[in-house]
Structure 1
């Protein structure tokens, strides 16, 4: 991960979005129980918004990736590139900060619970798309070493998922839901918006700087 630029960029991008998702997962039931005064059983039902986001984005997103890949492959003379699987990440880079802002400020001002749920839906959709696009890209970019590259993705996002919930209570206590989630939205925007463009336009150059990627491509051809 630390010696292969294309793996590093992909790992950091995915791990940040995954960490933010887990930070929120740790706070959902407490937010709806303490802020909206809902019973624990009712407060836990808001995870349904995340289930819907995961399911729809997984079903629709996969089809969009395939359609876009085939279209760009035709325009490129029938030759496919790993970067052709990345355009959907541009959407995730927008969905995550938008969902975080919507969720944070509507909870801060105690807007009807359906509006924070819409924010949760957007967050889940962005996270899910990232979770299946990044491994797809790694599979094409590193080919023969896909298992190792995917392991880097899993380890990095696992570390972020472990670390982020640890500081969630202190962050929300100090900043509140509005500014606390705005801070997360800023982080996901700064990393999440430029990273897909960076990988799409410069991913091939990064792959050529990766000894594993170059060697894998030679072995495959």
Structure 2
């Protein structure tokens, strides 16, 4: 799971690099057209070679197969439910219902929502910031290379998580046996609540005072690493805790993440025009830092 999610985030950072050079040489229409062609090819490939892994669907198909093989004898998956208007409404409302009933999920989702919105704002603003602050360094094509810092940060975070997560859980199992809480998987979340504000502050203040361009890029590298290092443990935690309802719990988070990413972008012009790069990023860093105490309590007292 960490590998799939981590590579997806790395790809999100690398694609703007290719897009900037394609737009520079072939025009912006080709950058969109080629993205559609590549997406269509791999979507078709997945339909052909991808195998079903969801236990609910596999059991449902097995029940249908047994029913055909044994002369119409009734078989039913334990997860198979009636399909009517009430079931559909319950399924639609389930993500919000799960979110409201779980304070821990509410906390982690809120933290992830703020973090997702903040990193999205950096992604949207980084080309404009670097071009206006360092006009003699970046061209229309090379400005896309600034996204490489986010990819580097994601790669570092993915390797760090892979090296430390399982070892930490094995250590807890030896120490506490079966008594350790699933919330122990969220230890990396507390770490990202500390390092993301640091990255945002480095990025904002170095851009404001036009420090050598590598310094703000170091800040975006730190910010990029925090995105991967927080998303992976949250998703794994949700899958471990909610089992067959994990998709509903994850869906609730996706709704909030996407909404926050869209609406925070609207604050971009007044925020940066009113406070500048330095203090606007300081405000955003402070918002993320406010999650450090509750996440620390979560690590201390578990569920």
Please state which band the TM-score falls in when normalised by the shorter chain: 0.7 to 0.9
Write the distance in 2 (CA, Å) between the matches of 1:141 and 1:151: 15
* Equivalent residue number for residue 176 of structure 1: 276
- The Cα offsets for residues 96-153 of structure 1, whole Å up to 9 and x where unpaired, read as 0000000000000000111111100000111111111111122223234211111112
C-alpha RMSD over aligned residues: 1.4
Distance 1:35-1:59 versus aligned 2 partners, 3 A rule = same
Ranges in structure 2 where 5+ consecutive residues have no aligned partner: 1-98
- The Cα offsets for residues 185-215 of structure 1, whole Å up to 9 and x where unpaired, read as 1001012x123223323441xxxxxxxxxxx
- SS in structure 1 opposite 2:290? helix
Write the distance in 1 (CA, Å) between the matches of 2:102 and 2:178: 28
Match of 2:300 among 201, 205, 208: 201
Write the distance in 2 (CA, Å) between the matches of 1:128 and 1:175: 29
2:183 pairs with 1:83: yes
* Aligned counterparts, 1:47-86, within 5 A: 47-86=147-186
Deviation at 1:78, TM superposition (A): 4.4
2:126 pairs with 1:24: no
Q: Greater shift after overlay, 96-105 or 129-138? A: 129-138
- SS in structure 2 opposite 1:26? helix
Report the number of matched residues.
Answer: 203
Write the distance in 2 (CA, Å) between the matches of 1:198 and 1:48: 35
* Equivalent residue number for residue 20 of structure 2: none
TM-score, with normalisation over the residues of structure 2? Answer: 0.64
TM-score, with normalisation over the residues of structure 1? Answer: 0.87
Deviation at 1:44, TM superposition (A): 2.0
Deviation at 1:80, TM superposition (A): 4.3
Q: Greater shift after overlay, 88-97 or 172-181? A: 88-97
Q: Which has the larger radius of gyration?
A: 2
Runs ≥4 in structure 1, deviation > 4 angstroms? Answer: none
Choose between structure 1 and 2 for higher RCO, CA contacts under 8 A separated by at least 6 residues: 1
Determine if contact 2:181/2:302 at 8 Å carries over to the other structure: no
* Equivalent residue number for residue 208 of structure 1: none
Write the distance in 2 (CA, Å) between the matches of 1:144 and 1:103: 41
Write the distance in 2 (CA, Å) between the matches of 1:20 and 1:70: 33
Distance 1:201-1:139 versus aligned 2 partners, 3 A rule = farther
2:108 pairs with 1:13: no
